[in-house]
Structure formats: structure tokens, C-alpha cells
Amino acid sequence: MPSDLSYWLISVPLQDHDPHRMMTELSKTLMKDGGAASSDIGLLTLPPLKTGTLDSLITLSDELPKLDASFTGIVAKIVDTLRALLNNDEDALAQHVLVNEQEIDRYMLGWSWNGSKYRTDRSLRDILDTLQKEITSIDNVMKTKLNNYNLAKGQLQQLQRKKTGNLSVKSLADVVHKEDFADLGSEYLETLLVAVPKNNLKDWQAKYERLTSMVVPRSSRKIAADDEFALVNVTVFKKVKEEFLQKCRENKFVVRDFQWDDQIVEKQRQELEEAGVSEKELWTELLRLARTNFSEAYQALAHLKVVRTFVESVLRFGLPADYFGVAVKPNAKRSKALLGALNAHYAYLARFEGGGKGGKSGAIEGDVPGEWSNVAEAELLPYVLSEQFMVAA
């Protein structure tokens, strides 16, 4: 059964060259019995595309499902990007998943072929190549911009974590002061900062002077503390620094990599501010790009779906390639009733077993017979149905 979370694109042979009468009859059918199968529907005008040869149609019929999945995946990724940028705010998302600045429902239920962009006097292969180049370009641009944004976001988050973590990981620029370093300017001494687990603080006081030789006695004092760690300083001779670091690691004392700089607080503040500005600029740029590319990619996907619907219609119903198309947005609670009503309404099409209209094979370019039931995918429905991506709330 087709999903009730997608638009249904339906195609059947056109009768008496009158799509409006067929639309009226279909609407009446869907409104019977109190509208049990009622759904939003709109006329789907299938363009006069070139059919080409039977072999080319069969080849396209094999390729189109793969292209369909690829296009749909790209559109879905853009939606996921928008959703992430907007923190899963569905109301905000609805304002950005627009097609030509209109809601998707309005676009799909009033759909028309963009003849200026995808010329119908070109072959189906040329049209598909154009669509594929367009969607690939969109995907590549989105990947590049998303990667740039994620890098900037990661850098910002890393800087923010340095201000919010415990004393074993957070930035110490706002914690320590110049007077905590007794060795500034010394050629031989260096003051180290050590994060000591609070329950090991007595152990530190008892051991630090004897962890290695050449540790300045009584040089350690507590500078700050949080719920997990105490930050202490200690002065050692530079020549034993590496040995002292190793002994600290063995005793689970965390030596922080920190060098005093008179401008360090201002530098880190400026670094965080610049990272925030960069992340915000790239967020805005990516949001704007994703909104624009969603519109373009969705239109490309819709045109691909119509090409697929057209190809399957020719393979199912034959020539002449005059078809009545309708786009349906199913009511999720009544989709089974909708499918039953459609099957009943178009039950007369069961006589089409892959041949031409009226049970006779149509001829494609080159006078190739239209016996296609053995090559087209078996269908349980009496009409051609394609599913178009719908943005789920």
C-alpha cells in the first residue's frame, strides 16, 4: 500500500480529451459516503514529452527508481539540515520548506511542468541528465557548506566547553592570576598547575615534594576548587619537569598545559567571540542556502517523479501518450478508504495488461509493438501511481 506520508501522483488514459470532466468525476467518487475517502487533490498536467523507442523506455524504467531514491535522499538531507539548524522547531521548519515561496501542498496540488527550464522538445534522456546535474550540484554545495558550518560549530563548542567543564579540562584564564606563578622570568624554575581530585588532596600535600628531586619545598597552594577537583600550583626545576609530569600521571594528578600570558584572558575572550560570530554567520548562510536549495531540489524531484509517471504510463497504457494525471494528498486516517475508492473508480482499467489503449498495443517511435506486460514491473493497481516526498511534521 502506498504511504499516507507522501503525495500520490496518479496517471490514467485521458478520455475524450477532457481532463476537467475526469477530475469532476473523480472528486465526486472521493466524496461519496460522507467523504469517507476525501483527500486534497489537484490536477497533474502531464506534459507532451517525447516517448522515444521501446528500448529507451525500458532502460529508463529500470534507471528511474534508482534516480528517484537518490533525488529523494538529497531532498530529505536538506530537510534534516533545516530541522537541525532550527532545533527541531516544526513551526519554524514549515516557514522554510517552501517551493517558490509557497507551501508544498499548494505547489503539488497545483503542479505544472516548468517548460522554460526543462524543455519538452528534448528527449527524456536529456531531461533526466539535466535534472541529475542540477540535483548533484545542489548536493555538492550543501555538503561543502554543511561541513564548513560543522567545523565552525565544533570549534565554538570546544571553546565553550573550556569555560564550563571542571578544573581538569576548563580554561584557566579566568581562574589563575599572575601572582600564582613564582617563576616568571626564571631561567631554571617553572610553576606548574595541577588538577587534583578532591578526595586525593591530602595525598598530594603529602607526596608532591617527593615525587621527584628538585621540587621547591612548600611551593604548592590551592588556587581554586570545584565539585570534583582542586587546582594547585607547584614550582619545580625545569630539568625535572618531564619526570615530574610522569609521576603526576601515575598518581592521577592532572597537570594542566598552561603558560601565563598577560593578555591571555583578553585573547581567549576575543577567540570565543570571534568563533561565535563565525558560527552565527555560517548558520545564517547555511539556513538561507538550505531554504533556497530545498525549493530547487524539490522541484527537480517533482519533475523526475512526473517523468517516471509518464514512462510507466506509456509502458502500461501505450500510445498515444495522452494521460490524465492527478496529485493526491491522502488523509492519513482514511488512506485505506481512499485507495479502495480509487481502485473502484478505475477498475475499468484492469483490461490494460501492458498493451495499448482499449486493449490494443500502441506503437512507439520505430513502429515497435507495445507488448510491455512482460517487462514492466507487475502492478496490483489499475492505474500508475508514484509517491512524492512529503515533509513529515
Residue 364 has pLDDT above 70, yes or no: no
What pLDDT is attached to residue 353?
Answer: 55
pLDDT beyond 50 at 292: yes
User: Average pLDDT for residues 102-131, to the nearest whole number?
Assistant: 96
Return the pLDDT at 381.
92
| Amino acid 362: pLDDT | 44
- How crowded is residue 372: how many other Cβ atoms within 10 Å of its Cβ? 24
Checking if the pLDDT of 379 tops 80, the result is no
For residue 185, pLDDT beyond 80:
no
Please list the residues that pair with 195 across neighbouring strands: 231, 254
Sheet holding 189-197, edge to edge: 221-225, 229-237, 189-197, 254-256
pTM for the model stands at: 0.78
Q: Which domains does the chain have, with CATH numbers?
A: 6-141+296-389 (1.20.1460.10), 178-259 (3.30.70.100)
Which of 127, 133, 136, 132 has the alpha carbon at shortest distance from 311?
127
Please give the average per-residue pLDDT across 314-324, as a whole number: 94
Whether residue 262 has pLDDT greater than 80: no
pLDDT at 366: 43
Confidence of residue 344 (pLDDT cuts 50, 70, 90): very high
Strands (E), the chain: 6-13, 40-43, 98-99, 102-103, 189-197, 221-225, 229-237, 254-256, 323-329, 384-389
∠107-108-114 over CA atoms, to 5°?
Answer: 70
pLDDT value, residue 374? 38
Q: 3-class secondary structure for 78-146?
A: HHHHHHHHCCCCHHHHHCCCEECCEEHHHHHHCCCCCCCCCCCCCCHHHHHHHHHHHHHHHHHHHHHHH
Please determine, for residue 243, whether its predicted confidence score (pLDDT) is greater than 70. Answer: yes
Q: What is the mean pLDDT of residues 148-168?
A: 91
Q: What is the pLDDT of residues 12-62, one digit of tens each?
A: 999 999 999 999 999 999 888 656 566 799 999 999 999 999 999 999 999
Give the pLDDT score at 220: 96
